[in-house]
Amino acid sequence: MNSQIIMLVMILGVFYFFMIRPQVKRQKEAKKLRESLKPGDKVVTIGGIHGKILEVADSTVLISSEGSKIRVEKSAVSSSTEDRLMA
């Protein structure tokens, strides 16, 4: 009986350290990125659109891409190209 409880605790520990913890860390990093967006930043959206931020509103950003302007939700910004250059 005790060995079964120990195995269950070990399995839960493995799930936490290899699945739950990394996901929470990625979510925190994405939130931090979206909160730090400012005009002039170069970003990539989840749809693959590369552009430069022109304006930041409460929940949206205006992106300039190849001469066109697109307003997208902040949650649609997946990464900053400056972050990729530093890595």
CATH number at residue 60: 2.30.30
H-type alpha helices, 1-87: 2-15, 21-35, 81-86
Range of the domain at 25: 2-86
CA distances from 13 to 16, 27, 72 (A): 5, 20, 39
What percent of the chain is predicted at pLDDT more than 90? 77
| pLDDT reading at 19 higher than 50 | yes
Per-residue pLDDT tens over the stretch 58-82: 999 999 999 899 999 999 999 888 6
**48 vs 30: CA distance, rounded Å:** 16
The domain total for the chain is 1
